[in-house]
Amino acid sequence: MNKIEEHGRYAVVAITKHGVETARRLGRTLAGADVYYTDKFARGDEQEQQIRLFSGNVRALLPELFARYDGLICLISLGAVVRMIAPLLKDKKTDPAVVVIDDKAEHVISVLSGHLGGANDLTRRVAAILGARPVITTASDVQQTIAVDLFGRQFGWEWESDAKLTPVSAAVVNEEPVAIVQESGEPDWWPEGRPLPKNITVYGSIAEALAARPAAALVVTHRLLEPDEEAILQNGVLYRPKVIALGIGCNRGTAADEIEAVILETLHELRFSPKSVKAVCTIDLKKDEPGLREVVGKYGWEFVTYTPEELNAVPIEAPSETVYRYTGAYGVSEPAAKLYSGAERMALVKKKAGNVTISVALIRHRRGKGSESCDDWSSPPREAAPAKQR
């Protein structure tokens, strides 16, 4: 095979004359597609077109592609593809998308990792390019209902646990009563103008949902559930939306371990989940602070800095002349969290713990004109809790 080290997201693989024609077409029109086909049908322009040629049986090539790419698009018979990928399967959360196209490019079939791997979306995209018919058999797609394993994924929502994904998905597609409770996060998870399936009901609180005794539940919240609420998860999935903005100030050279400990302790005191943190915000003087950068890198949080002028434009409860002398800003953690979140009131105004000062705000997500926002779901502002002795 002619080796080209750089590679895109998808591998398009063909072994027949007609398949090669389709593969070349996809290579020109599908962003991120790398084309592989047998050297039997080489045209002579493959190096120029960045096309990879291989010799021998495609079965020897497939394991490498399966491991390297987010998706495989195979112009090979469906049965042959199933037999070749069977020994490679590991987990639906990590297996790549696999799509099969027939030799006449009339049908594009989603074969593996339809939801989490993106095969269903890839099938639709490829079918649109080729003018072919997309073949998707996932029940939630066919019935146009909620895909439990993809719920909120476009917004970055995370599951607390995937243990109940399968039984909750079964309840959704089998049209059993399903409750949705959303306390925070983006509200536009369902297509506008299309009614929710009749078996799905949105409740205003977990208590209301529990009283209705649904067969399954989807709960969207940034907070830790109370003991009397946890029954909702007996057949439920808990989603963590990215709605928490952390404002952080710290002394120069503060260790990452200390910063991390203050963050986690504070979130626990507030009964908030670390999985719902979206960003750490601070003054631009701290943009290269090693401890801060190490913590945000560990958790994959956004790291946002503001100038003193931007921070001083935000009204705060306790401006500090001491902070101003050192930074040029009358506050760091509180105005930084307010700036990022857009929140008018804080979940925690400010707490000093050792070398770290922390403020916490919830990011606002409007539900529509004249309706409530994430601010309305948040708890009242907290007074600064006493720092634990270190």
Average pLDDT for the chain = 89
On whether both 317 and 284 belong to a single domain, the answer is yes
On whether both 275 and 356 belong to a single domain, the answer is yes
* Final residue of a structural domain among 137, 163, 195: 137
Tokens at 25, concatenated: 């077409």
26-40, 63-77, 81-95, 217-231: segment of lowest average pLDDT? 81-95
Is the Cβ–Cβ distance between 172 and 148 less than 8 Å? yes
Terminal CA-CA length for the chain: 60
Beta bridge partners of 54: 38
* pLDDT tens digits, 259-278: 999 999 999 999 999 999 99
Q: Would 71 be classed as within a structural domain?
A: yes
**What DSSP string runs through 350-379?**
EEEETTEEEEEEEPP---STTS--HHHHSP
Instruction: Evaluate if residue 1 carries a pLDDT over 60.
Output: no
* pLDDT tens digits, 162-178: 999 999 999 998 999 99
Tokens at 117, concatenated: 């791997």
Which CATH number fits the domain that encloses residue 20? 3.40.50.11220
On whether both 206 and 168 belong to a single domain, the answer is yes
Q: What is the pLDDT of residue 4?
A: 47
Q: Tell me whether strands 97-101 and 107-112 are parallel, antiparallel or unpaired.
A: antiparallel
On whether both 248 and 373 belong to a single domain, the answer is yes
Tokens at 319, concatenated: 């401006």
Which range marks the domain in which residue 14 is found? 10-137
User: Sheet of 236-240: strands edge to edge?
Assistant: 158-159, 236-240, 216-220, 178-182, 200-203
On whether both 271 and 220 belong to a single domain, the answer is no
On whether both 365 and 278 belong to a single domain, the answer is yes
Q: What is the pLDDT of residue 118?
A: 82
Give the 3-state secondary structure of residue 174: coil
On whether both 79 and 133 belong to a single domain, the answer is yes
Q: What is the pLDDT of residue 113?
A: 75
Which CATH number fits the domain that encloses residue 273? 3.30.420.180
Whole-angstrom distance, CA of residue 332 vs CA of residue 310: 10
- Nearest residue to 281 via CA among 318, 252, 244, 255: 244
On whether both 162 and 261 belong to a single domain, the answer is no
Q: What is the pLDDT of residue 6?
A: 59
Q: What is the pLDDT of residue 81?
A: 93
Which CATH number fits the domain that encloses residue 212? 3.40.1390
Q: Which segments of the chain does DSSP mark as H helices, in order?
A: 17-29, 62-68, 78-85, 119-130, 139-142, 165-173, 206-212, 256-270, 290-299, 308-312, 321-327, 333-341, 374-377
* pLDDT tens digits, 192-248: 888 999 999 999 999 999 999 999 999 999 999 999 999 999 999 999 999 999 999
Q: Would 390 be classed as within a structural domain?
A: no
Q: Would 148 be classed as within a structural domain?
A: no
* Final residue of a structural domain among 190, 205, 239: 239
Higher-pLDDT residue of 377 and 122 is 122
* Final residue of a structural domain among 137, 172, 194: 137
Tokens at 238, concatenated: 């808990």
On whether both 195 and 283 belong to a single domain, the answer is no
Beta bridge partners of 134: 108
On whether both 39 and 124 belong to a single domain, the answer is yes
Q: How many domains does the chain have?
A: 3
On whether both 70 and 96 belong to a single domain, the answer is yes
Task: Give whole-number Cα distances, 377 to 185, 220, 345, in Å.
Answer: 10, 12, 12
Q: What is the pLDDT of residue 371?
A: 37
Q: Would 343 be classed as within a structural domain?
A: yes
H or E stretch including 277? strand 277-283
On whether both 233 and 170 belong to a single domain, the answer is yes
Is the Cβ–Cβ distance between 263 and 298 less than 8 Å? no
Instruction: Evaluate if residue 180 carries a pLDDT over 60.
Output: yes
